[in-house]
Amino acid sequence: MSVDDEYLRGQLLSDDTWPEKFHIREDDAYFYRATDPATGEEQVRRHNVVLRETRSKRTGDVIRTERLLENDALVCYSPDLVTAPILPEKPRSARSADSAETAESAETAGDL
Protein backbone atom coordinates (compact mmCIF):
# COMPACT_ATOMS: atom_id res chain seq x y z
CA MET A 1 0.00 0.00 0.00
CA SER A 2 1.30 3.46 -0.85
CA VAL A 3 0.01 7.01 -1.18
CA ASP A 4 1.05 9.63 -3.72
CA ASP A 5 -0.21 13.19 -4.23
CA GLU A 6 -3.47 11.97 -5.75
CA TYR A 7 -4.03 8.25 -5.12
CA LEU A 8 -4.06 5.56 -2.47
CA ARG A 9 -2.44 2.63 -4.24
CA GLY A 10 -2.58 -1.03 -3.28
CA GLN A 11 -3.02 -4.50 -4.64
CA LEU A 12 -4.70 -7.78 -3.76
CA LEU A 13 -2.69 -10.90 -4.52
CA SER A 14 -4.02 -14.37 -5.38
CA ASP A 15 -2.57 -17.77 -6.17
CA ASP A 16 -5.03 -17.95 -9.09
CA THR A 17 -4.60 -16.08 -12.38
CA TRP A 18 -7.43 -13.68 -13.20
CA PRO A 19 -8.12 -12.39 -16.73
CA GLU A 20 -9.24 -9.06 -15.30
CA LYS A 21 -7.88 -6.35 -13.07
CA PHE A 22 -9.88 -3.93 -10.98
CA HIS A 23 -9.60 -0.21 -10.41
CA ILE A 24 -11.51 1.51 -7.61
CA ARG A 25 -12.12 5.20 -8.22
CA GLU A 26 -14.37 8.02 -7.16
CA ASP A 27 -16.63 10.12 -9.32
CA ASP A 28 -18.96 13.07 -8.76
CA ALA A 29 -16.86 14.32 -5.81
CA TYR A 30 -17.51 17.72 -4.28
CA PHE A 31 -17.87 19.61 -1.00
CA TYR A 32 -20.94 21.72 -0.30
CA ARG A 33 -22.54 23.81 2.43
CA ALA A 34 -25.79 22.70 4.05
CA THR A 35 -27.92 23.60 7.04
CA ASP A 36 -28.21 21.01 9.79
CA PRO A 37 -31.98 20.42 10.06
CA ALA A 38 -31.72 19.65 13.79
CA THR A 39 -29.71 22.70 14.88
CA GLY A 40 -30.01 25.16 12.00
CA GLU A 41 -26.21 25.50 11.97
CA GLU A 42 -24.23 25.62 8.74
CA GLN A 43 -22.13 22.56 8.02
CA VAL A 44 -19.85 21.37 5.24
CA ARG A 45 -20.53 18.00 3.63
CA ARG A 46 -18.56 15.89 1.15
CA HIS A 47 -20.21 13.89 -1.60
CA ASN A 48 -18.75 11.22 -3.89
CA VAL A 49 -19.60 8.01 -5.70
CA VAL A 50 -17.24 5.00 -5.52
CA LEU A 51 -16.94 2.93 -8.70
CA ARG A 52 -15.18 -0.33 -9.55
CA GLU A 53 -13.88 -0.65 -13.10
CA THR A 54 -13.15 -4.14 -14.36
CA ARG A 55 -10.50 -4.14 -17.10
CA SER A 56 -9.17 -6.83 -19.38
CA LYS A 57 -5.54 -7.59 -18.57
CA ARG A 58 -4.99 -8.49 -22.23
CA THR A 59 -6.40 -5.35 -23.85
CA GLY A 60 -6.72 -2.86 -20.98
CA ASP A 61 -10.31 -2.17 -22.10
CA VAL A 62 -12.97 -1.47 -19.48
CA ILE A 63 -15.29 -4.49 -19.42
CA ARG A 64 -17.75 -3.05 -16.91
CA THR A 65 -18.15 -0.27 -14.39
CA GLU A 66 -20.07 -0.89 -11.19
CA ARG A 67 -21.33 1.70 -8.75
CA LEU A 68 -20.33 0.39 -5.33
CA LEU A 69 -21.68 3.15 -3.11
CA GLU A 70 -22.55 6.81 -2.79
CA ASN A 71 -21.27 8.87 0.15
CA ASP A 72 -22.70 12.07 1.51
CA ALA A 73 -20.92 12.73 4.78
CA LEU A 74 -20.50 15.50 7.30
CA VAL A 75 -16.98 16.97 7.26
CA CYS A 76 -15.82 16.62 10.86
CA TYR A 77 -12.65 18.67 10.54
CA SER A 78 -12.14 22.38 10.01
CA PRO A 79 -13.47 23.53 6.60
CA ASP A 80 -10.32 25.69 6.46
CA LEU A 81 -8.40 22.47 5.72
CA VAL A 82 -10.48 21.75 2.60
CA THR A 83 -8.38 22.69 -0.43
CA ALA A 84 -11.11 21.98 -3.03
CA PRO A 85 -13.87 24.49 -3.73
CA ILE A 86 -16.85 24.32 -1.36
CA LEU A 87 -20.10 24.81 -3.26
CA PRO A 88 -22.68 27.11 -1.65
CA GLU A 89 -25.27 24.29 -1.75
CA LYS A 90 -25.76 20.75 -3.00
CA PRO A 91 -26.10 20.79 -6.81
CA ARG A 92 -29.70 20.63 -8.05
CA SER A 93 -29.11 17.47 -10.09
CA ALA A 94 -27.95 15.70 -6.92
CA ARG A 95 -30.99 16.94 -4.98
CA SER A 96 -33.27 15.69 -7.78
CA ALA A 97 -31.58 12.27 -7.68
CA ASP A 98 -32.07 12.15 -3.88
CA SER A 99 -35.77 12.90 -4.32
CA ALA A 100 -36.12 10.21 -7.00
CA GLU A 101 -34.36 7.63 -4.78
CA THR A 102 -36.59 8.56 -1.82
CA ALA A 103 -39.71 8.21 -3.98
CA GLU A 104 -38.46 4.87 -5.34
CA SER A 105 -37.71 3.62 -1.80
CA ALA A 106 -41.21 4.62 -0.70
CA GLU A 107 -42.74 2.75 -3.64
CA THR A 108 -40.65 -0.34 -2.91
CA ALA A 109 -41.59 -0.20 0.79
CA GLY A 110 -45.24 -0.12 -0.24
CA ASP A 111 -44.72 -3.37 -2.16
CA LEU A 112 -43.56 -5.25 0.96
Higher pLDDT, 3 or 109: 3
Give the model's pLDDT for residue 94: 64
Rounded CA separation 24/4 (Å)? 15
The DSSP secondary structure of 38-79, one letter per residue, reads: TT--EEEEEEEEEEEEEEETTT--EEEEEEEEEEEEE--S-G
Higher pLDDT, 32 or 103: 32
This prediction has a pTM of: 0.70
Would you say how long the chain is, in residues? 112
